[in-house]
Chain A
Amino acid sequence: MSLAFDDYGRPYIILRDQGQKKRMKGLEAYKSNILAAKAVANTLQSSLGPKGMDKMLVSPDGDVSVTNDGATIVEKMEIQHPTAKLLVELSQSQDAEIGDGTTGVVVLAGKLLEQALTLLDKGIHPLKISDGFDRACDVAIKHLESIAEEIDIQANDHEALIQAACTALGSKVVSKRKRELGKIAVTAVLDVADLKRKDVNLDLIKIQTKTGGSVEDTRLISGILIDKDMSHPQMQKEVKDAKICLLTCPFEPPKPKTKHNINISSAEDYKKLYQQEQQYFVEMVKLVKDSGANIALCQWGFDDEANHLLLQNDLPAVRWVSGTDVELIAMATGARIIPRFQEITPEKLGKAGCIKEVQFGTSNERMLVIENCQCTKAVTILIRGGSQMIVDEAKRSIHDAICVIRNLIKDNRIVYGGGSAELACALQVLQYADEVSSVEQYAVRSFADALEGIPCCLADNCGLNPITSVAQAKSRQLTEKNPRIGIDCMELGTSDMKEQKIYETLSSKKQQIQLATQVVKMILKIDDVIAPDDY
């Protein structure tokens, strides 16, 4: 790349490593950026909707994952192109904020860019396009709010929540069991939700996976599941009315942190030292026992001698419990974390109804279940499935469902899915377009076209004729004045999404439209790309 030439046609060296840089300007830059971003959107397009397909992604290490979740796909694709990366971040920020709708947001951005490309070809200034999109976005959001419906989340045994979860799960590989999984997700969220503050701390829901069994075996444990077993195979496997002692110090003789040397000058001293060590073990076990604890969970390891002593004293113990688990258990059982043995007091113990070791299938793996905790605020969803890939995908799906439910608890307004909300907005935006007198009119109209792209895509993925079905739905929306008409993806015979009970949260839809518009605006504003030349 060179910026200037002298009178003899030789380039000036103005920039460092000028020969190795590449520059794209003006229309060329817009087009290249849009094409790159569209390529990403096109990849995701076929994953949208209840009949969307999955992608198989192989990581550099050879790990295979199969997924339908937009954010995961783009993340694992390891995209290099700077503009395409913007879409990856778009999807991830939708994931961080809402947790669901990560595919939809990218597809929408792709559709918007596609429209922008044709407008650019018409010679419209890119900023006029982005202004138009912005205005159309405002109109669409306002319309969305007006067609949104408030639902009573508690009515009918939380039926609405379950339906919303089902919608989120509908597009995933686990869709066959969506009702069961939806229920599990709803119960899990409600268990930890603070309905008064309308807040849900998702950290309190632990999702544990275990291959084996089938997806139907997935269950909710109102307590905590940790992937650990008792430190000694002969310890009792079940503790009722457990009093838990949570330790963050090892069952070992204490060591000073300062570098130290022990000079042993005589055999007598050596014996003393040995005895002292033994004494430590006995004392430790005694201290735990005396406090009334009947199970000890330790963040660190045990000496084998300590393990033996614990068994002798009939005190089941678990070692190497991870820090996050320790914290979770502390929260759930009301235990205090104890940093050294001298500080063990009966008040610091946590209480749980039952701690037991469970074994799965024929494999030798065991897990610990802590149930009926004193301050039960933590729950675990144990996901089972035929293969690691299924289990992983099920985990992502349930995560999506949980996010949807959380959003509904925060804000109980919903819109109907199946592309109906997008269609309704598109119609509204189209109407508004005619009122705009300047060049932006074209951009506003294109925005409406882009919104229509979503139901189109849905229909296409379901094997319907996209043009016919969208046209039908559109005309019915207009004639019947019913914003709930969408695409009948499941071919249930009705296009009214209220009857099909396809719920989506308002916050998710709003966020999708806003974020997509924002990123498209940003891409449209770039007229110059300077990058290292790879070729």
Chain B
Amino acid sequence: MSQFLQPTILLLREGTDTSQGRAQIVSNINAVQAVADVVKSTLGPRGMDKMIQTGPKVTISNDGATILNLLEVVHPAARVLVDIAKSQDDEVGDGTTSTTLLAAELLKEAKPFIEEGIHPQIVIQGYRKALELALEKLEGFSINIAKDSAQDKRDTLLKCAQTALNSKLLANTKHFFSELVVSAVEKLDPNILDRDLIGIKNVTGGSVTDSFLVDGVAFKKTFSYAGFEQQPKRFENPKICLLNLELELKSEKENAEIRIEKPEEYQSIVDAEWALIYEKLEIIVKAGAQIVLSKLPIGDLATQYFADRNIFCAGRVAQEDLLRVQKATGGQVQTTVNGLNPETFGTCGLFEEVQVGAERYNLFKNCPQSRTATIVLRGGAEQFIQEAERSLNDAIMIVRRCFKANKIVAGGGAIELEISRFLRHYARSVTGKTQYIVNSYAKALEVIPRTIAENAGLNSIEIMNKLRQKHAQGDEEGRWYGVDINGASGVCDTHSSFVWEPTLVKRNALCSATEAACAILSIDETVKNPKSDQDTKMKPKGQPGRPPMGMRR
């Protein structure tokens, strides 16, 4: 008999858990649903915030990418969602929640097909086809914004910024902040639009509407030595010298050692050291600098030396601040003062040190080549300002995107419904399984308006029916109907009520959501290696024959 007993072939390390087949796909889909459920309630203008405590730090946020990131998802399939949210954040900066939701909804729609035995690849094919059509339509539907007048363009930008801010804590002051954001972005070099050149500084205290935009650079007063207060704190058209140089009395070389043979030489060594630092200071003063900023410390000696000569100085300026000063004032950072050339100095209209809340800030205003701006945010609590900063970040990204591409679509779920209607229509014209799948894709798109309505406490079924009816009329009029959270009827033309979003955001959201869904659908086997000894012990006791649990990496 023994010849019939096959020896067990050990392919994998002991403790490795493998799972495969249809059950695996379904299980992955379930995990993704769970994660998407967490962020679901943050969508839309009536979306709520999440409070997440990680260690001693507490974050309150409405931003999908931030929340997913802080959740520390370890499930491999669910991590895909975190990744697409992040990529959406990096690429367009807004719409992270809708991307996540869309991906989860696509998977949810695919689940019955998988369970019924349709091959995942057919589903994937169908989704890809639907995406292709959706993108085509998206382009077709998007509206070109009149480029002719600068005023029109500005209006568009303002509206897009407002739409992005709608769901955030700042919703009530969105007009104020959209103005701020648009003005800040307009300051940037239109060809590059480098986001890093818009600084956001947080100062607790005051009301949010006390926030202001500095046409140039602002940074917190750096650590100062005695004598600093005697320096002038206000200059008009100053010459600004930017350094990456330590101005301190110190040993010039590390680990150097001097042997002094004769007592008389002692004084000369001391003098030599003083001479070194004084030489540097003198060069700076002679070159005519009025403000000296350095990335490295400026010592007490230098502080007092400058104070005596009516020069303002600040040491230990943060790298990004110095970079922005450089951009704003047109100066160049010097690493040595030898051959210091006044041409490398920057300038600005007005330099001032002012008190903001409990902090003192250095402001460089009216910069001539200003390609940078700083937003000083005020607010009641630390978390409040941090969330405000994230919201502004989203708005800035949107405005940046809009600045380049002039195409917009109407928000509030209108565009999703319109594409959905088109896909349903198209589905009827195809034969085969694809018909079902395209139909499902169309259905999945409706998750956006449905969730917005649900979060606003509206009757989502009723609203969806109203919206479908409007869109089904198929003419220009019904096209832009979306969820209205304020009105009594619950629906309105979101295009004419100025809920605008750049086409790019939607395009990216559709693409990455579909990609993510397809990626998860195509996984049919997961091999989980035992992580380490302690983890294996903690592992829940799985029994054979059961569908796999989530995997650790």
A518 touches which of B51, B78, B229, B379 (Cβ 8 Å) = B379
- Give min CB distance, B362 to chain A, whole Å: 16
B146 interfacial by beta-carbon distance below 8 Å: no
Tell me, rounded to whole Å, the shortest Cβ–Cβ distance linking A301 to chain B.
16
* C-alpha gap A125/B27 in the complex (Å): 34
CB contact list, B133-163 vs A, under 8 A: none
State whether A15 touches B273 (Cβ < 8 A): no
Residues of B within 8 A of A126 (CB): 48
B274 close to A258 (CB less than 8 A):
no
A86 to B37, CA, bound (A): 27
**B304 near A263 (CB under 8 angstroms)?**
no
Please tell me if A525 contacts chain B, counting CB pairs below 8 Å: yes
Contacts of B384 on A, CB cut-off 8 Å? 86, 518-519, 522
B519 within 8 A of A: no
A269–B304 touching, CB < 8 Å: no
Using Cβ atoms and an 8 Å threshold, which residues of chain B touch A7? 547
Chain A residues with CB under 8 Å of B60's CB are 522, 525-526
Contact of A258 with B31 at beta-carbon distance under 8 Å, contacts A89-B204, A331-B229, A518-B208 already known: no
A259 engages B540 (CB within 8 Å): no
User: Which of B191-199, B252-260, B461-469 interfaces with chain A?
Assistant: B252-260
> How far, in whole Å, are A256 and B349 apart by their CA atoms in the complex?
42
Give 27 pairs: A residue, B residue, CB < 8 Å, sorted on A.
A3-B35, A12-B550, A13-B75, A13-B550, A14-B74, A16-B72, A82-B58, A90-B381, A92-B204, A96-B357, A97-B206, A125-B456, A134-B172, A203-B229, A248-B301, A259-B251, A259-B258, A260-B257, A260-B259, A262-B260, A339-B301, A518-B379, A519-B381, A519-B384, A527-B41, A528-B48, A529-B53
Residues of B within 8 A of A526 (CB): 48-51, 60
Q: Knowing that A96-B358, A529-B52 are A-B contacts, what are 9 other residue pairs whose CB atoms are under 8 Å apart, sorted by A's residue number?
A: A7-B547, A86-B381, A90-B381, A256-B273, A262-B259, A269-B262, A518-B384, A522-B380, A530-B71
- Is B169 a contact partner of A525 (Cβ separation < 8 A)? yes
Dominant SS among interface residues on chain B:
mixed
B259, A256: Cβ atoms under 8 Å?
no
Contact of B72 among A15, A327, A338, A529 (CB under 8 A): A15
B263 touches A12 (CB 8 A): no
- Complex formed: what's the CA distance from A326 to B381 in Å? 35
Complex alpha-carbon distance, A259 and B260, angstroms: 11
- The 3 A-B residue pairs with the shortest CB-CB distance, nearest first, are A4-B34, A97-B205, A96-B358
Please report which residues of chain A, range 315-351, place their CB below 8 angstroms from some CB of chain B when the two chains form the complex. Answer: 323-324, 326-327, 330-331, 336-340
Is B41's CB under 8 angstroms from A258's CB?
no
Task: Determine the chain B residues whose CB is within 8 A of the CB of A525 once the complex forms.
Answer: 48-49, 60, 62, 169
Collect the chain B residues with CB atoms within 8 Å of residue A272's CB: 263-264
Q: Which residue of B lies closest to A99 (CB)?
A: B358
Task: Flag if B46 contacts A127 (CB, 8 Å).
Answer: yes
With a cutoff of 8 Å between Cβ atoms, the chain B residues found around residue A521 in the complex are 169
B270 touches A528 (CB 8 A): no
| A39 proximity list for chain B (CB < 8 A) | none
Q: B432 contacts the other chain (Cβ, under 8 Å)?
A: no
A93 within 8 A of B: yes
* Interface residue A448 (Cβ < 8 Å from any Cβ of B): no
Query: What distance in Å separates the Cβ of B302 from its nearest Cβ neighbour in chain A?
Result: 9
Q: Do B552 and A96 have beta carbons less than 8 Å apart? A: no
Residue of A nearest to B270 (CB): A254
Asked if B230 is at the interface (CB within 8 A of a chain A CB), the reply is yes
Contact B27 A6 (CB under 8 A): yes
> Chain B residues in contact with chain A, CB under 8 A?
27, 30-31, 33-35, 37-38, 41, 46, 48-55, 58, 60, 62, 70-75, 78, 169, 172, 204-208, 225-230, 249-253, 255-264, 266-267, 269-270, 272-274, 300-301, 304-305, 307-308, 357-358, 379-384, 387, 456-457, 540, 546-547, 549-552
Looking at the assembled complex, report how far the CB atom of A298 sits from the nearest CB atom of chain B, in whole angstroms. 12
Q: Which of A91-116 contact B (CB under 8 A)?
A: 92-94, 96-97
Measured between C-beta atoms, what is the minimum distance from B16 to chain A in Å? 16
Chain B residue numbers with a CB within 8 Å of A472 are none
Contact of A13 among B38, B74, B260 (CB under 8 A): B74
Q: Which residues of A in the span 245-262 have a Cβ within 8 Å of any Cβ on B? A: 248, 254-262
Q: Which residues of B contact A518 (CB under 8 A)?
A: 207-208, 379-381, 384
Q: Which of B53, B379, B552 contacts A532 (CB 8 A)?
A: B53
Docked Cα-Cα span, A326 to B300, in Å, equals: 12
Q: Which residues of A contact B305 (CB under 8 A)?
A: 339
CA A265 to CA B307, docked complex, whole Å = 44
Once the chains are docked, how many angstroms separate the CA of A248 from the CA of B53? Answer: 47
Q: Which of B41, B78, B263 has the most CB of A within 10 A?
A: B263
